[in-house]
Amino acid sequence: MALTTEVQDKQVTADPKLKPWVEAVSAAEGRTSDDLGTKYPKISEQMWQAVLSALSGSMSPEDALAEAQTAVPSGDE
């Protein structure tokens, strides 16, 4: 996707299937947004471990995400 809305509009005009991607890109935020910053690696690790546990069937998705949530420090720490 192009960076400017002017070029994005041209891309969507040329290929209307790109419209959802333009919308997704405009709503996207960086990995370090919302004050995530230096906590990103720890949070990311817990998330991918939860997804892997759920996909492998070793844990239910609910249990895997609950475990990941308790392993990650809160924003107050």
Q: What pLDDT does residue 12 have?
A: 95
Range of the domain at 1: 1-30
Residue 76 pLDDT > 90, yes or no?
A: no
The answer to whether residues 58 and 45 belong to one domain is yes
Contact (CB, 8 A) for 28 and 20: no
pLDDT of 3-45, one tens digit each?
889 999 999 999 999 999 999 888 887 767 667 777 788 888 9
Residues 45, 63: one domain? yes
Average pLDDT, integer, range 55-66: 96
My answer on whether 22 and 47 are in the same domain is no
Asked whether the beta carbons of 56 and 39 are under 8 A apart, the reply is no
Name the pLDDT band for 74 (thresholds 50, 70, 90).
low
How many Cβ atoms from other residues are within 10 Å of residue 21's Cβ?
A: 14
